[in-house]
A and B are shown apart, each in its own frame.
Chain A
Amino acid sequence: MVGHVRDTKGRSVVVVTGIGIVTSLGHTMADNWVALTAGASGIREITRFATDGLSTKIAGTVDDFEIEPLSAPGLAKAFATASITEAISQSGLGSRSSFPGPLFVATPPAEVEWPVRRQVYESARNGSPVSDARLKQAAREGAYRDMHALFLFGQVGEYLADRFGTLGQPISLSTACASGGTAIQLGVEAIRRGETDAALCVGTDGSVHPESLIRFSLLSALSTRNEPPEEAARPFAKDRDGFVMAEGSAALILESYDAAKARGAKILGVVRGCGERADDFHRTRSKPDGTPIIGAIRNALDDADVTPCQINYINAHGTSTPENDRMEYFSLANVFGEHLADTPISSNKSIVGHTLTAAGAIEAAFSLKTIETGTIPPTINYDIPDPEMPLDVVPNEKRDAQVDMVLSNSFGFGGQNVCLVLSAEPA
């Protein structure tokens, strides 16, 4: 009955009516999907800055946006603007300057970047010998007001709220690599509370710059397999050696099923359930017994009111670090038991790289496309299976299959885990 469709827990059903995506593979879902299903990697040698002396010289950068001055928040805004424009256009909801719902945006932390810091420092008229004092003095004497706003954490969200006319105060958030999932979860909760019929959920990241690359390198998190770049990300393979930083954005238009039906919108899929669970073990390592990840998966399945057997594809977090992939396998095996061997699981990061703050949203977008097309994108570079992880990773070649229920995993550096259950439209 139109007007009162509820899920098994009596809540509004939350559907997706628009998707937009930007990655190193392309600037639209159509371009992304061709490359993703072909297994055509977007990982390449970094040309944005000199990589002299760095152990990692590759990334999945998005290089064809002109930003002046070049900055991570500038790129994050540009990618998000493109993905939101595509999503709104597909959904037909509102207009390009007036979106009838709130904005939840997963955005990377911002910091004054080196070119600006250096420019301010060198502009000091009477340079104090102490560099901190000199920076502040030069800042006060100079005309850098735009730089102040650019490097605020709220900048990306505020810009997008202005640009697309979203309602109310935007929420900017970070749960590290789970951020995109958290943005979607916040939108789902708002619709379930009945406070809005629609929400704009976005993840965006343009953080490939020297300092961020070096920070991840110093934690030994990155692949150093620079040659050839497209073979560096190898989730679940025995010889995986770290993740590859990447950039991009995805935007999802969430609506209540009732509102989407009432306006005759095409429904691309359902966000059936969300689950989360925080890890209390260590800053960079998962709890050895897997309980936080297991808890997040179980909470998502419970929220969606489905059993593991109903899941017919897993979109893995699959970063290609030795630790993540091992713990993801271990936790999935715990929840899925024997059913895991029969459940295809693939990692988009093998092709796109790890888009960090945007990853959860990008992978939700690809999961929905998998449901729509019946094509499972492959895990590439899977030449040497890890015998510890007997998984059907859809190795190297895409596969056609009927997929109507997907588990999408996102595990954040720092212990925040978010899992989503996405499904086909209810009949």
Chain B
Amino acid sequence: MAHQTDEEIWITGIGLVSSLGEGPEDHWCRMGNGGNCEPVVDSETFAPYAVHPLADVDHSTQIPKRGDLRQMGPWQRLGTHTAGLALSDAGIAGDPACLDKIDMIIAADGGERDKDVDSAVLEKIGRRNDPEAFLNETLSTQLRPTLFLTQLPNLMAGNISIVHKVCGSSRTFMGEEMAGVSAAQVALKKMRHGQSELCLIGGAYNAERDDMQFVFELGHYLWPGEFEPLWERQKKGGGIVTGSVGAFLVLESRSHATARGARAYARLSEVLADRCNRAPGAAAENARRQIDELDSSLEAGPLAVLSGACGAEPITSEERAFLESLSNRGLDVSIRAIGSMLGHSVEAQFLSGLALAAIAISKKQLFGPVAGSDAEKPYDGETDRILVTSWGHWRGEGMALVEAAH
């Protein structure tokens, strides 16, 4: 028979880099400590679009070789850096016994395009009578030969293997927000069934990219106005404000962690994922089924929720109404929107939610409400469980329960 262990799966390492800083303590100080969370926003560089820009980070602390740094673009550097933070935090960086067997699942998009080459093509191609030959010539002569290596999704994992010597298995999931949900879900399933005892999961998103903003704007998803916290955008048509985020977690079976004396931030109790065609109410119906699945673990009482809502409508309003409806089950929810604090980070969104939940549980206290919005109420009780959601801006509904480890 397929053997499912009852063993807890612990979060024993966190790498988190965002506009608020680097590492669990930075984030705790900026987001918690009894006060409000003050997001960091750059409204100038990509005006009219605001972004949550990456904090000043010295990549050489995690990627010491200059040759390695040169071989990556900003997106890969962010992911490779954050992976190193998670491994260090778990106490397994540089430990060949662990790195040799660790199973890695990365949620990835692709790396940065060369803006200058794109501009060189766009500005002239319309006036050429040989547009195809012109495109071939421009790309062939102006693209940096190794740029492709900074663009391939699986090369973030490749760089993590090279820089941090992560050599067990290496898989890269794609598919926007749901890539992050699936990375966590597959890792958890593998660990529960003894197919793995140690996993590195993570993703990174570089929001400071015209090419990514362009893709969102083809679907009219971005918030084009003055920055406002996510729930405040709801009544004005909604919109996404993206944020640069790297989020990695080391997941470990309780016995493996205990044997090496590692401590847990929290345990990852469940990860659920589903999809629908986004007919009105269909996403909420999926989420209701997920809550039903969690029902036996969700006793009535206060429940902190870290929502990965992207900010776009109508899906953000549908999620908020669903979360508020949980009061019907005796769950008194206090919601925090990750998108207000760090911005929307697509593949990294759900994983940053898991990381933040683990940090809050280890502090036994929820983060403060975001400044400038009365939609998030203070939460005074001890926090020993957090529901994390991430609904894709286009498709997919993910949910996790993070609880105190025992």
Residues of A within 8 A of B (CB): 11-12, 49-54, 107, 109, 111-112, 114, 117-118, 120-122, 131-133, 135-136, 139-140, 144-145, 147-149, 151-154, 157-158, 161-162, 168-176, 182, 186, 189-190, 192-195, 210-211, 214-220, 276-284, 292, 412-416
Give the interface segment out of B50-58, B230-238, B270-278, B328-336.
B270-278
Q: How far is the CA of A132 from the CA of B116 in the complex (A)?
A: 10
B118 to chain A, nearest CB (A): 7
The answer to whether residues A148 and B158 also contact, given A109-B152, A131-B122, A211-B139 and a CB cut-off of 8 A, is no
**B217: nearest chain-A partner, CB-CB:** A139
**B216: nearest chain-A partner, CB-CB:** A148
Partner of B109, one of A132, A139, A153, A173: A153
**B221: nearest chain-A partner, CB-CB:** A148
* B161→A415 contact, CB < 8 A: yes
* B2→A193 contact, CB < 8 A: yes
**B130: nearest chain-A partner, CB-CB:** A52
- Report chain B residues within 8 Å CB of A174: 108, 152-154, 172, 174
Give the interface segment out of B84-92, B142-150, B355-363.
B142-150
Partner of B157, one of A152, A186, A218, A416: A416
- Report chain B residues within 8 Å CB of A182: 171
- A-B contact number at CB 8 A: 249
* A172→B179 contact, CB < 8 A: yes
* A121→B122 contact, CB < 8 A: yes
New contact pairs (9) apart from A145-B219, A152-B175, CB-CB < 8 Å: A51-B136, A53-B133, A144-B219, A169-B182, A175-B170, A193-B193, A194-B1, A284-B149, A416-B171
**B182: nearest chain-A partner, CB-CB:** A171
B: contact size bracket: 35 or more
Encoded as 1 (CB less than 8 Å from any A CB) or 0, chain B from 153 to 165 comes to 1110111011001
B176 at the interface (CB under 8 A from A): yes
**B159: nearest chain-A partner, CB-CB:** A283
Q: List 10 A-B contacts (CB under 8 A).
A: A107-B174, A111-B110, A112-B218, A140-B224, A148-B394, A151-B215, A169-B273, A214-B139, A217-B140, A219-B146
The answer to whether residues A153 and B176 also contact, given A121-B122, A278-B157, A278-B166 and a CB cut-off of 8 A, is yes
Residues of B within 8 A of A (CB): 1-2, 4, 49, 71, 104, 108-110, 113, 115, 118-119, 121-123, 125-126, 130, 132-133, 135-137, 139-140, 143, 145-149, 151-155, 157-159, 161-162, 165-176, 178-179, 181-182, 185-186, 189-190, 193, 195, 210-211, 213-222, 224, 273-275, 277, 392, 394-396, 398
The answer to whether residues A131 and B179 also contact, given A50-B133, A52-B132 and a CB cut-off of 8 A, is no
* B110→A109 contact, CB < 8 A: yes
Q: How far is the CA of A53 from the CA of B277 in the complex (A)?
A: 44
- Report chain B residues within 8 Å CB of A131: 115, 118-119, 122-123
The answer to whether residues A416 and B179 also contact, given A12-B2, A120-B218, A136-B217 and a CB cut-off of 8 A, is no
Partner of A414, one of B4, B135, B157, B189: B157
- Report chain B residues within 8 Å CB of A279: 158, 161, 167
A122 to chain B, nearest CB (A): 6
* B148→A154 contact, CB < 8 A: no
The answer to whether residues A112 and B215 also contact, given A51-B136, A276-B169 and a CB cut-off of 8 A, is yes
- Report chain B residues within 8 Å CB of A49: 132
Q: How far is the CA of A131 from the CA of B211 in the complex (A)?
A: 11
Partner of B175, one of A121, A144, A157, A415: A157
- Report chain B residues within 8 Å CB of A52: 130, 132-133, 136-137
Partner of A219, one of B145, B165, B186, B211: B145
B248 to chain A, nearest CB (A): 16
